[in-house]
Amino acid sequence: MSVQQESPAEPLSTPVDGVEVLGALSPSRAGDFLTCPLLYRFRTIDRLPEPPSPDAVRGTVVHKVLEDLFDLPAAQRTPQQARDMLLPAWEALVAAEPELTGMFDEGAGPDIASWLTSCRSVLDRYFTLEDPTRLEPAERELYVETLLESRLLLRGFVDRIDIAPDGAIRVVDYKTGRAPGELFEAKALFQMKFYALVIWRTRGVVPAMLQLVYLGSGEMLRYVPDEADLRATERKVEAIWGAIRQAQDSGDWRPSPSKLCSWCAHQALCPAYGGTPPELPVRDAQPEDLTVEPGLLTVRSSPPTAPPVSDH
């Protein structure tokens, strides 16, 4: 096997259903690049590890409880039931990823009792926004993907899809952070339009509603997309992918400092903060860019005040 610099931007020549795919993009990674090209490089190309954060892991546990809640008969989907499901969900997560307990080492963060209390508050807030006894989701934690004509694969996980009796589709995403200000609202909606584009391409139906449920502040953001929106989203996604390829060709993964830097795990390596990025990795040429990112499944970033476009 030939060895070359890993590149998400080079042709991967990986057949998916018999079609050669050029590369793959999720809303999280697209959001990374929009936030900061260097952050995208650190996460997607260097694959630098990031320490678990209490906010992100709270998101993971809360998502799991809300996913499992709908396995129960409608009448049992109560706030107390959700609270009771919290500890088992946390214990199952720790069994799979024991290093998560490091978040609570002395001096490293909050103590576990107050963190669990904050998880319960977030779950309680969910019930002020929706009544799960009146909902029967069609899908939960659904992996979606579609191949654009350019042979770029779009993919991601949708928290919940509701389908009305008339076939109308509602795409729902839970955020454990607060509702964004105007500046970040477009970024949050971009993720939802990305999912809507994939659903439109795969099911032939434009979702009737995109709904972001902000459990940190108890607010909902709703948006009704149309075909023109989704075509514009496709053009935007293609433009982002073009910019990623350009950065790869030029090696210019420049930092883009913003207030989101305070959540960045890689400040010490960032030239904007006096650091030096590592050499770009050299790996066997493999279509790793087409594997499902574990982060999408297990950790969701939901900073408390200014959420970036996130993981789940």
Q: What are all long-range contacts of 80-86, with beta carbons under 8 Å and residues at least 24 apart?
A: 82/123, 82/124, 82/126, 82/127, 83/120, 83/123, 83/124, 86/61, 86/116, 86/119, 86/120, 86/123
Contact 192, 212 (CB under 8 A): yes
- Residues in contact with ligand SF4, shown as a per-residue x/- string from 250 to 279 under the rule CB under 6 A: -----xxx--xx--x-xx--x-xx------
Q: Count residues binding ligand SF4 (CB under 6 A).
A: 14
Segment lying near ligand SF4 (by CB under 6 A), choices 17-25, 35-43, 135-143, 287-295? 35-43
Minimum separation from the CB atom of position 267 to ligand SF4 (A): 4
- Among 12, 38, 171, 196, which residue sits at the site for ligand SF4 (rule: CB under 6 A)? 38
Contact 189, 179 (CB under 8 A): no
Q: Which is nearer to ligand SF4, 137 or 257 (CB)?
A: 257
How many contiguous H segments (helices) and E segments (strands) does the chain have? Answer: 8, 10
Q: What is the Cα–Cα distance from 303 to 259, expressed in whole angstroms?
A: 12
Angle at 60 between CA 54 and CA 66, to 5 degrees: 130
Dihedral pair phi/psi, residue 259, rounded to 5°: -65, -15
Minimum separation from the CB atom of position 293 to ligand SF4 (A): 18
Quick check: 215 binds ligand SF4 (CB under 6 A)? no
Q: What is the radius of gyration, based on Cα positions, of the chain? A: 20
- Among 9, 22, 39, 123, which residue sits at the site for ligand SF4 (rule: CB under 6 A)? 39
Q: Which is nearer to ligand SF4, 34 or 264 (CB)?
A: 264
Minimum separation from the CB atom of position 243 to ligand SF4 (A): 15
Binding site for ligand SF4 (CB under 6 A): 36, 38-39, 255-257, 260-261, 264, 266-267, 270, 272-273
